[in-house]
Amino acid sequence: MLRTGILLFILTLAACQSNEKKSIASIERLDAALDQIVSPTAQPEVIAEGFEWSEGPLWLAESKTLIFSDVPKNIIHQWSEEKGLSTYLTPSGYTSDTPRGGEMGSNGLALSVDGKLLLAQHGDRRIAVMESPLTDPKPTFVTQSDNIDGKKLSSPNDVVSRSNGDLFFTDPPYGLPQQSNDPAKETSFNGVYKISSGKTTLLVDSLTRPNGIAFLPGEKTFIVANSDPDKATWYAFDLAENDSIVNARIFYNATSDSKSGLPGLPDGLKVDKQGNIFATGPGGIWIFNTSGKVVGKIKFTDVPTSNCALSDDEKTLFITADNYVVRVKLRE
């Protein structure tokens, strides 16, 4: 009887350990207001791993699938609760047969207003749309923008679609083998752009490393993350009626946090329907409430975070973090 009881205990313990979810992050509450955004019982959990540099997560509501880029591998992966992990699309960002160095794959992913996949393609140095349906992906792309005034873009990084169909995107040099010093770089700056009716317009040329981009509710203001360790800052830009930039300003400066040795920089970010901001930055995900106050963080102590995505009901946050993908069930 004693041996049977011991055996039952060991089997129960093993079962509990096998069901235990791996976590590489924790939630830090800096203000009671966080409880309205993230449940006090929420816990980050690893749902996939083994990538070189995961980026650009995007939730596809119809298929209940997360897709995300592995930038150096030139692949988009997909993950679902039902089917697990598999390849979604390859090549994702570089379609030429000519060998080249640097980070070649897609980075940021988004949906157009008509439900097609938009890709910021490092290798092909363009913003493109995938011709095939989301449910039957094929590496056939149509260029939306690859130059500004005849000068080739460097390596588009992130893209967001406005409700009228206009696209806003950032273009740092990360996909070029020698980045800013690469002889193939044709622009003297790293820009933020708009695509409207097939025309590309430069909006901002003053940021050192423009990266993640997202609109606040109402689409009158957009936030750009600057992934420069010496200027680790989120910037806000208001749009006038003709889409000229007005009231450019610092939204939040995290340079001191970057200098303290925390992994990661301001990178991808997402904004929920209420205006709460989930922004990758030094030490993990920074959570700003609608007043722009930091109310909490999802802390990653060992790996940098690159981007995040919300599910369609905004109850789940997905985070790409180096070689991991992490899920946080924000609320039930």
Residues 21-36: pLDDT tens digits? 788 999 999 999 999 9
As a whole number of angstroms, the distance between CA 278 and CA 108 comes to 16
Say if residues 224 and 211 touch (Cβ distance below 8 Å): yes
Q: Assess whether pLDDT exceeds 50 at residue 263.
A: yes
Residue 52's Cβ-side half-sphere holds a number of Cα atoms within 13 Å equal to 12
Question: What gap in Å lies between CA 124 and CA 6, rounded to an integer?
Answer: 61
Whether residue 13 is predicted with pLDDT greater than 70 in this model: the reply is no
pLDDT tops 90 at residue 332 = no
Give the pLDDT confidence of 196-227 residue by residue, as tens digits.
999 999 999 999 999 999 999 999 999 999 99
Closest CA to 93 of 84, 85, 82, 104: 104
pLDDT digits (tens, 9 = 90+) for 147-187: 999 999 999 999 999 999 999 999 999 999 999 999 999 99
| 120-122-127-132 Cα dihedral, nearest 10 degrees | -70
Angstrom distance (rounded) from CA 105 to CA 238 = 31
Q: Are 122 and 93 in contact (CB under 8 A)?
A: yes
Mean pLDDT throughout 5-10?
42
CATH architecture of the domain with range 22-329 = 6 Propeller (2.120)
Indicate whether 16 pLDDT > 50: no
Q: What are the residue boundaries of the structural domains of the chain, listed by start?
A: 22-329
| H helix intervals, the chain | 2-19, 255-259
User: In three state form, how does the secondary structure of 27-93 look?
Assistant: EEECCHHHHHCCCCCCCEEEEEECCCCEEEEEEECCCCEEEEEEHHHCEEEEEECCCEEEEEECCCC
Task: Give the pairing of strands 210-215 and 199-204.
Answer: unpaired
pLDDT of residue 101: 85
Six-digit token string for 285: 């995900």
Residue 102 has phi, psi (to 5 degrees) of: 80, 180
Q: Which residues pair with 126 in a beta bridge?
A: 121
Asked if 85 and 96 count as a contact pair (C-beta separation under 8 A), the reply is no
- In eight-state DSSP terms, residue 188 is S
Structure tokens at 314: 């905004």
Task: Give 68 or 20, the one with higher predicted confidence.
Answer: 68
According to the model, what pLDDT value does residue 6 have?
Answer: 41
Mean of the per-residue pLDDT values of the chain: 94
pTM of the model: 0.93
Q: How many CA atoms lie within 13 A of 276 on its CB side?
A: 23
Burial code (b: 16+ CB inside 10 Å, e: under 16) for 121-151 equals: bbbbbbbbbbeeebeebebebeebbeebeee
Q: Please tell me the predicted confidence (pLDDT) of residue 9.
A: 41
Above 50 in pLDDT, residue 285?
Answer: yes
* Residue 127 confidence (pLDDT): 98
Residue 2 has pLDDT above 50, yes or no: no
